[in-house]
Structures are given as C-alpha cells and as structure tokens.
Amino acid sequence: MNIESLRSFLLVAKYSSFSKAAEVLYTSQPTLSKKIADLEKELGIQLFVRDYHATRLTAAGSNILKECIEIVDRYDNVFKLAQESRQGVVKKVRIGNFESEYFLISRFLEIVRTRFPDVDLDINTYSPRRIDEGVENNEIDIGFRPLYPIERKSGLNICEVHKARMCFLLPRNHKYANKESIDIFSLKQESFILLSPEFDEQYDWFTQYCEKRGITPKIINHYSRTDTLFLQVAAGNGISIAAFDSAFLKILRKNLSLVTISGEDAFVKIGIVWKADNPNPLVASLIEEYTK
C-alpha cells in the first residue's frame, strides 16, 4: 500500500465513478481498477460495490475513509511545509495555552523571538482538557498546561519544565490575605469557588487533597472561565485555589491575594504536551530548544 493507492481510493469514493477518477488522475480506467483491486487484496476487504449504474463504498470502505483522508492530508502537509521552508515562507506553529501559564509562555515567546524569528505563532487560550484533545487531533502543535497527576492519552509526549506551589486565592480583605502560608484546616469552613471539573483537573486535585486530610470542602460553585472566578472571589462570594506564577501574581487585581497552601503535596507540575508524530517539522526543533 502506498500514498497513491490511497489517493486513488479517495477519488473513486469522491466521484462514485472509476471513469471520472481515472480522468482526474490522467490514467486509464483498467489501470485504476487494478490499483484498487490490489489495494483491496492487500487490506483483505472489498472497498466498492460496482454495478452498471453506480460505484459506491461498502461498509468496510466507509469505515476506513476518514482515516485515509487524514493520512493523505498529513502526507501532503509534510511536503507543503518542506516547500515553505525551502522558499523561506513564514512558518506557523499553533500554541494552546492555559490561562494562567504566563511564566512558561513568556519564556517560550522569548526563545522564538531570538532564535526562530521567522516563525509565526498562533496562540490561543484553552482549557487543559481541550489542549490535550487539540494536540491529539493535530489542531494544536504545542500545549502549555498544568500537569496534575492523572492518567493521560498515551499518544502525547509530556515534558515537565516547572513546579508551582498551589495557593489559596483570597479576597484582599480576607483575614488570612497577608499570610505567607496556611493549611486547609484553617479554611475548612470557607465556601470554595473552583474551575469546573469539565474545564480543568484542578477540581479533582483539590477534592483529593482535602480527602487525604479527612476534609470535605464546601464547594458552592464552579466556573469554566478564570476571569469569572476571580470576579466572584474579589466580590467576597468565596475563596479559590490557583497555581503560583510570578507573572500571574503581578497582573492580579489589587483586591486579590495568593497565599501558599502548606503541605509537601501542595504542588502542581507545569509543562508542555505535544504529539510525537505531529507533521509540523518545527515542533521538534522548538521543543528541543525550549527544554535545553
């Protein structure tokens, strides 16, 4: 099986016609028919039902159609990127960033600016779970996200580049707002506002952290946006948690305070995720430079 066999299969499926597909491929219909027959023999399945009126996909052919489209598209994209590199065309890398990973993304931007000046970064903010999905589906090239200790897709590469202390996010007028560190027992009667478990794994981490200490936190609400959460905490409607980030701390509104959570396990690893077989040739170079 080769890429041209798959391309022939896709064209016959597209036009529902061997003659039309042969015309597009500038080949004869018998030659195309033999190529499809050889592919069917190699795969061990019948791809098309042929009759006098039409050619249509079999159930088996329909099952592999999407995968074949993706394989051909990925193959073509590799050559496109290679051609752009030869011609000096501006190169593009798609970045998925979680909202509070300012420390990591700012360092990455500096590396790209100084060492890869012709690379164009398309940066968008997503939830950690959406970043994983985007990387898995080749919609995101590199993702920056917190790495809570949970099981992840085996197809993703993960590199831990930073360890952040978990903190309580308090309104500035809270009685513990000026503390350097505090334990969960001092706040067990507080009302917590967290990021939605569908949005971020922080929710699960916090409930497990409390469970180990025999505490059931009073979680009164959860949101899918960090800015909404900040507004709720600033308004005094509850407290929250966040991973410490020096750049993040600087942009917090003056009426919010980060106080570190005491405990040896009150940390979260921060890092990058990418897919080993990502067709973008720039990904490997950027990862290597960033993780030196």
pLDDT value of position 102? 62
CB count, 10 Å around CB of 280?
20
pLDDT digits (tens, 9 = 90+) for 18-52: 888 888 888 898 999 999 999 999 999 999 988 77
pTM, rounded to two decimals? 0.62
CB count, 10 Å around CB of 126?
21
Choosing from 87, 116, 140, the residue where a domain stops is 87
Q: Within a 13 Å sphere around the CA of 46, how many CA atoms are in the beta-carbon half?
A: 8
Residues 256 and 277 in one domain: no
Q: Are 275 and 156 in contact (CB under 8 A)?
A: yes
pLDDT digits (tens, 9 = 90+) for 65-123: 988 998 988 888 777 767 666 655 547 899 998 865 566 677 888 888 888 887 888 98
Residues 282-287: what's their mean pLDDT? 87
Domain span at residue 30 reads 3-87
Residues 153 and 281 in one domain: yes
Which CATH number do you get for residue 51?
1.10.10.10
Integer CA distances (angstroms), 183 to 5, 225, 269, in order: 63, 26, 20
Rounded Cα distance between 26 and 13, Å, is 17
Residues 8 and 68 in one domain: yes
Residues 199 and 238 in one domain: yes
Residues 128 and 145 in one domain: yes
Choosing from 39, 62, 87, the residue where a domain stops is 87
Residues 274 and 263 in one domain: no
Per the structure, the count of domains in the chain is: 3
Rounded Cα distance between 81 and 92, Å, is 9
Residues 142 and 171 in one domain: no
Which CATH number do you get for residue 222?
3.40.190.10
